[in-house]
Chain A
């Protein structure tokens, strides 16, 4: 397929579904629209030839975070519940602020002339990525890898402690 056609399809899906994500009144539908946005983003990564990153995007975002969000929606609200939006004045002001910010950023992007670079592309297959993640020389990323693993451990323990029920503390108080 023509790559430009594919790009415009993916970008149209991203724009339309992200607008639907923030305007849909039904929370569960908004979560599904967000899923479409994330899958189209994975398509963009495939187009840029970063296959591993696209796979991570599909598994972690589309597979993990969306499922987590849908679970928490089902835990905290009814399926038919309509989400409340901000008042009319605040909505108008938010629209103005975002349109102004987007216009400023788009003008800056379109005016700036990015340098053309045609260096030989570094292959981004899994072998190279795996080597780079655990090596500590010039092109290695061992330190951020370890920091992220500690962060994930801390987030896991923190989430368990925050979300558990307070039975233990109540028992302690009774004694």
Chain B
């Protein structure tokens, strides 16, 4: 179905998404929105894996399984990160990275 769409277009999309995620990670001050930026970055990496798999090595499925495993790792990471964020909120009443500057339990 990809017909005449070249590989470069997919890479351009994932590059824009990756650097948007990095911009968000650098400018956001809220832990949950920083986590959302990380999700953007992981998702752009998945697009790269899948596009390379389809266009350069269509005779096997390595990139496909890489993406599946990255999705699983992203889910685990989000769950643990949100548990930590909720714990931080209980202790500091805030999830702002500027206010949480004390690595003390």
A interface residues, Cβ below 8 angstroms from B? 3-4, 7, 11, 14-15, 18-19, 21-23, 27, 30-31, 34, 37-38, 41, 44-45, 47-50, 53, 56-57, 60-61, 64-65, 68-69, 71-73, 75-77, 83-86, 90-91, 94-95, 97-99, 101-102, 105-106, 109-110, 114-115, 117, 119-122, 124, 128-129, 132-133, 139, 141, 144, 148, 151-152, 154-156, 158-160, 162-163, 165
In the bound complex, CA of A119 to CA of B58 (Å): 6
Say whether B15 contacts A65, CB under 8 Å: no
Q: CB distance B28 to A65 under 8 Å?
A: no
Task: Decide if B75 touches A60 in the complex (CB within 8 Å).
Answer: yes
Chain B residue nearest in CB terms to A92 = B27
Prevailing SS type, chain A contact patch: helix
Interface of B is mostly: helix
Question: Which chain B residues border A11 with CB–CB below 8 Å?
Answer: 9, 13
Count residues of B near A (Cβ-Cβ below 8 Å).
Answer: 73
Can you name the residue of chain B whose Cβ is closest to the Cβ of A160?
B83
- A31 near B71 (CB under 8 angstroms)? no
Assess whether A94 is in contact with B23, with CB atoms less than 8 Å apart. Answer: yes
